[in-house]
Chains A and B, each alone.
Chain A
Amino acid sequence: MSGLDFLEKVEIFKGLNHDQLKSVKKGAQEKKYFYGDRLFAEGEDADRIWLVMDGQVDLRFDLPGRPTSEENTIFSISTPQTLGWSNFVPPFKYALSAYSATKTCSVLQIDKQHLLECFEKDPRMGLMFMTNVAAIASMHFDQLLESANVSPVAKVKITVHMSTCGIAAGARQVMSALVEEISCSDRPDIEVASSGCIGHCKNEPNITVEIGGGEPVIYQKMTPDKMRQIFQKHILGGEVQKGYILND
């Protein structure tokens, strides 16, 4: 597939004509990565958009002092999906790190400055591009609103224990991370609840995970990063994260 054939399939370039796609392509650079290679790191300036041409890219949170791990993957993207929202929304920094998750993966990087220069010369192209990006943002907004309303048919219940001791230990940040995860998951059957102290103040924040009619699992000393890992591995993957279970 030539570069232009690929570009015209990408949602953010929908409506652009052949010449406009050609001008985009001038700022594009194809790169190949191997399994485990990092494409960009959380907190770096978002200065380019990334289009996955082949293979899979994982978006992960990194834990300080530890190597990256598939366990920390928030979501994965494959062709012809795009990474790039952070380029156009303050604070203009990547919110997660991206890693190659397949033996090899090919991506097209498009320099943000090149795009902005194209848009200066051809504002109609800029208008179409910005409208396409805003339409994707609109879809994510709807997903977040859906996740905000508890489903009456919930099969999974996650309780964040938000007593004053829990909040002092960071329960509110844990709840924020959980809400963010659910908004990205497209899982209307997940119910979020909060409750008071369960008597393990020194191990706060605590969360309880109940899946179907199974035994509740209580996790201790939660952080936003642990919350994301538990969401991906336990709630979505069914694998209890034994290292974080509350010690009686």
Chain B
Amino acid sequence: MINLDFLENVEAFTDLDDNQLTAIQDCCEVADFNRGEKIFAAGEIPDHFWIVLAGQVNLTWDAPEGPALQENTITTLSEGMPFGWSSLVPPYKYHLSAHCASRNCKTVRIPKGRLLQLFEDDAQLGYKVMSKVMIVAGQRFHQLQDEVARRRGHDIINRW
């Protein structure tokens, strides 16, 4: 079982009280992945909201003609970092792909339906979590923007 000390330090859950953390804890599942293994792909309809429990996870954007590549990574996430924010927001579609970036990684996954039901049952929990999810979304937006610019510049330096 995921302990509360871990959950209360996850950015999306930092404002929750112990009862609310316990409700989240009851929904958590652990999933293991090996290096390079896909956790989810851009465009998929999300089933889960995710947190890195151990190891590293890469978030990548996919060129339309090809698979996710190492060089398309916009950020690497480590222990305690949440991902898959778009699972909680209409139109409920992953924007980026996620892959295991270390030899092994452990993730906590929370079924989207159960989390949205918790929001419905305890609106204060939902409001606190969504306020933090907005911040995560803002971080991803800026990371993607920086990476797009960096990647294009890097390609050309290599050709030059």
Interface pair A130/B131, CB less than 8 Å apart:
yes
Given the interface pairs A131-B90, A145-B61, A196-B156, the reply to whether A90 lies near B138 with Cβ below 8 Å is: yes
User: B86 — which chain A residues lie within 8 A by C-beta?
Assistant: 138, 141
In the complex the two chains form, what is the Cα distance from A175 to B128 in whole Å? 36
**CB contact between B152 and one of A137, A164, A194 (< 8 Å): that residue:** A194
User: A133 — which chain B residues lie within 8 A by C-beta?
Assistant: 134
Binding site for B on A (CB under 8 A): 85, 88-90, 119, 123-124, 126-127, 130-131, 133-135, 137-138, 140-142, 144-145, 147-149, 160, 162-164, 167, 171-172, 175-176, 179-180, 183, 192-197
Given the interface pairs A137-B141, A138-B137, A141-B140, the reply to whether A130 lies near B156 with Cβ below 8 Å is: no
Interface pair A137/B134, CB less than 8 Å apart:
yes
Interface pair A123/B155, CB less than 8 Å apart:
no
Interface pair B134/A179, CB less than 8 Å apart:
no
Interface pair A183/B145, CB less than 8 Å apart:
yes
Query: Which single residue of chain A is at the shortest CB-CB distance from B95?
Result: A141
Give the shortest distance, in Å, between A200 (CB) and chain B (any CB).
15
User: B159 — which chain A residues lie within 8 A by C-beta?
Assistant: 195-196
Q: How many A-B contacts if CB must be within 8 Å?
A: 123
Interface pair A179/B148, CB less than 8 Å apart:
yes
User: A119 — which chain B residues lie within 8 A by C-beta?
Assistant: 127
B63 interface residue (CB < 8 Å to A): yes
B31 interface residue (CB < 8 Å to A): no
Interface pair A179/B95, CB less than 8 Å apart:
no
Interface pair A126/B127, CB less than 8 Å apart:
yes
Interface pair A162/B153, CB less than 8 Å apart:
yes
In the complex the two chains form, what is the Cα distance from A40 to B137 in whole Å? 24
Given the interface pairs A149-B63, A172-B153, A196-B160, the reply to whether A127 lies near B127 with Cβ below 8 Å is: yes
Given the interface pairs A89-B138, A127-B126, the reply to whether A164 lies near B157 with Cβ below 8 Å is: yes
User: B63 — which chain A residues lie within 8 A by C-beta?
Assistant: 149
